[in-house]
Amino acid sequence: MDVIIAGAGPTGLTLAHELALAGVRTTVVERLTERIEQTKGGAVQARTAELLDMRGLLDAILARALPRDTEGGHFGLLPVPLDAKPWRTRHPKPISIPQWMVEEELERAAGVQVLRGLEVTRVDQDDEGVTVTAGSRTIRARYLVACDGAHSTIRKLLGVPFPGREGTYRAVLADIRLSSVSDLVPKQAGHISTLTRQAGEHWGMLVPIDGDRYRFTFGPESDIQTALTAIYGEETRLAEVFNSSRFGDATRQLEQYRHGRVFFAGDAAHIHPPLGGQGLNLGVQDAMNLGWKLAAKLHGHVDVLDSYHDERHPPAARVLHHTAAQRVFASPNIEPDALALRDIFTDLLRLPDTNRYLAGMMSGLDLPGRVPDFDLVTADGPTRLAALLRSGRGLLLDFGEREWPSGWADRVDVVHAKADEDYDALLIRPDGVLCWSGEGPVTRAMTMWFGQPV
Ligand SMILES: Cc1cc2nc3c(=O)[nH]c(=O)nc-3n(C[C@H](O)[C@H](O)[C@H](O)COP(=O)(O)OP(=O)(O)OC[C@H]3O[C@@H](n4cnc5c(N)ncnc54)[C@H](O)[C@@H]3O)c2cc1C
């Protein structure tokens, strides 16, 4: 076995997909015997949508997305929608879809077997590989990737500290059905700021899903009817609870994402308050970054594994940073001084430059190396950039008719194209990150990211 993935959440399953695409022998072990249809993450942000699109996975997700025409993302629940359109994306609004549906689609597409009901309880690593005990099985592989979530067993088994801040509140997220509603209950989904409400010490957000179904997030922790009555009045009656979970606002991040032959990704590496729908997205993006690098190492092409930590630690650190700021604005017990700051910040959000900056940050569209998904024409006809990255290989896109070195043909597709763009030539990694655009010899960038030519 080449890679063991612990955890079949969105991070582990994205990684499984990437490794399967690259022909790496992979085993996924998952503690749960079956997927729980529990709503956790509910928003796929624009950059994640672009990455899923690059693998041909987005259409299936869009087909199951909630028919909710959001007005754009938000920062700290402030009432000014974030407009990602200036970032030239085909997905300017967050896509609303329950996390378990994303997981289902990822698992189906990956085509790898998930060994369910196997909990990792022991990890031993040496110079050659990692031995994992999961349930009654002992599995040996060259690498282990811990995608086992916020309470990562593997983090604890390795004794890796998870520094950060304790949570300050506990809240509840539930998928429910209401038998009657008061006028205070939102009639339709709109911008998130129109769906939140506070009454005394209680705060809540009711998102209409379909007919009498709602997604209810509230705090402080109490039983659901009590919170409904407090926030939306006696007339609002609970008929059914489909599922519910508790969450908090602890903020932590690993100092190192690599510990020998063990890598950490997703919530196992970073946790933060669920403000602005970031966690699932960070995990999927961690996996996209790590997958092809593991494959490149295992295929003996190049060892760029340490760049995984270097590239993925900063975006999560940034999410920890901005969710801390958002927490100030979104707090139900906001201080009067912070209230004044919130008013001024709300006005600033109406300025196009400020709005664009925050839209880029919250959607992930401002991450380094992103190339917008533009239209182009190749010898096979009209297409777009994302469609050329389906194979999970590197892409050398030439907007001329030049000859290119052929020693990387087994790893990098060379495509000649015409486009209404100001590019000469682009070298794009399998994870959609631009690594060369004409400065310096292309062979240097090819060797650095794809290894020696054959
Ligand atoms: C209320 C709430 C709302 C959220 N909203 C959003 C949102 O809108 N958008 C967004 O992007 N994110 C959101 N998030 C965050 C998102 O849900 C998480 O970031 C995401 O689930 C992380 O995915 P993961 O695969 O890293 O971890 P997880 O989804 O936690 O998956 C880890 C998996 O590992 C398994 N596991 C654990 N221990 C072991 C073991 N020892 N052996 C084997 N398997 C094990 C678990 O059973 C689980 O299946 C929200 C979270 C909460 C709580």
Q: Quick one: pLDDT band at residue 40, thresholds 50, 70, 90?
A: confident
Give the mean pLDDT of 125-134. 97
Ligand 1: nearest atom to the Cα of 148? 34
Average pLDDT, the chain: 94
Mapping DSSP to helix (H, G, I), strand (E, B) and coil, where does residue 434 land?
A: strand
Does the beta carbon of 37 lie inside 6 Å of ligand 1? no
Q: Using CA atoms, how far apart are residues 22 and 392, in angstroms rounded to an integer?
A: 7
pLDDT in the model for residue 281: 97
Establish whether residue 8 lines the binding site of ligand 1, counting it when its CB lies within 6 angstroms of any ligand atom: yes
**Is residue 448 within 8 Å of residue 394, measured between CB atoms?**
no
How many Å lie between the centroid of ligand 1 and the Cα of residue 89?
A: 26
Percent pLDDT > 90 in the chain is: 83
Which range has highest mean pLDDT (44-53, 71-80, 199-208)? 44-53
Say whether pLDDT at 70 is over 70.
Answer: no
Token output for 380: 């096979």
- Closest ligand 1 atom to residue 265 Cα is 26
Report phi then psi at 196, rounded to 5.
Answer: -100, 150
Per-residue pLDDT reduced to its tens digit, 416-454: 999 999 999 999 999 999 999 988 899 999 999 999 999
Per-residue pLDDT of 156-168, as tens digits, reads 999 999 999 999 8
Q: What pLDDT shows up at residue 68? A: 61
Q: Cα(216) to centroid of ligand 1, in Å?
A: 18
Q: How far is the CA of 351 from the centre of ligand 1 (A)?
A: 35
Q: Is the CB of 147 under 6 A from ligand 1?
A: yes
Q: Is 274 in the pocket of ligand 1 (CB under 6 A)?
A: yes
- Work out whether the CA dihedral 418, 420, 424, 426 comes out positive or negative: negative
Ligand 1: residue of 18, 121, 267 to mutate (most ligand atoms within 8 A of CB) is 267
List CB contacts of 353: < 8 A, sequence separation 6 or more. none
Q: How wide is the angle at C-alpha 88 spanned by C-alphas 85 and 93, nearest 5°?
A: 40
Q: Is 432 helix (H, G, I), strand (E, B) or coil?
A: coil
Distance CA 296, CA 190 (A): 44
Determine the 3-state secondary structure of 225 from DSSP: helix
Query: What is the pTM assigned to this prediction?
Result: 0.96
Q: Are 449 and 301 in contact (CB under 8 A)?
A: no
Position 352 pLDDT exceeds 70? yes
- Cα 295-297-299 angle, rounded to 5 deg: 65
Cis ω on the peptide bond leading into residue 220 (within 30° of 0)? Answer: yes
Which one-letter DSSP state was computed for residue 85? Answer: G
Q: Which helix (H) or strand (E) holds 28?
A: strand 26-30
Residue minimizing CA distance to atom 21 of ligand 1: 280
Q: Which residue matches tokens 């690259």?
A: 22
pLDDT at position 192, please? 87
Which region holds residue 233: left if phi is over 0, alpha if psi is between -120 and 50, else beta? left
Asked whether the bond before 336 is cis by omega within 30 degrees of 0, the reply is no
pLDDT band at 193 (very low <50, low <70, confident <90, very high): confident
Determine the average pLDDT of the residues in 126-155: 97
Lowest mean pLDDT among 37-41, 141-145, 305-309, 448-452: 37-41
pLDDT band at 227 (very low <50, low <70, confident <90, very high): very high
What is the biggest distance separating any 2 CA atoms in the chain, rounded to whole angstroms? 74
